[in-house]
Amino acid sequence: MIEVRTSNVTDDESNKGVFATRNIEKDKLIHVAPVLPYPNEQHKYIEKTHLADYVFEYGKNHTAFLLGYGMMFNHSYQPNAYYEINFENHSFDFYAYTDIKAGEEIFINYNGEVNDEDPLWFNEEKNENES
Q: What percent of the chain has pLDDT over 90?
A: 84
DSSP string, 98-130: S-B-TTPEEEE-TTSSTT--PPPHHHHHHHHHH
**CA dihedral for 10, 79, 64, 95, sign (positive or negative):** negative
Distance from C-alpha of 121 to C-alpha of 101, rounded to nearest angstrom: 30
The whole domain housing 115 covers 2-130
How does pLDDT run across 70-121, given as a tens digit for each residue?
A: 999 999 999 999 999 999 999 999 999 999 999 999 999 999 999 999 998 6
| CATH value at residue 86 | 2.170.270.10
Q: What's the residue count for the chain? A: 131
User: What's the total number of domains in the chain?
Assistant: 1
SS3 content of the chain, % helix, strand, coil (to 5): 20, 35, 45
Backbone φ and ψ of 102, nearest 5°: -55, 135
Chain Cα centroid distance, residue 122: 14
How does pLDDT run across 120-129, given as a tens digit for each residue?
A: 866 554 445 4
How does pLDDT run across 19-66, given as a tens digit for each residue?
A: 999 999 999 999 999 999 999 999 999 999 989 989 999 999 999 999
Distance from C-alpha of 16 to C-alpha of 5, rounded to nearest angstrom: 5
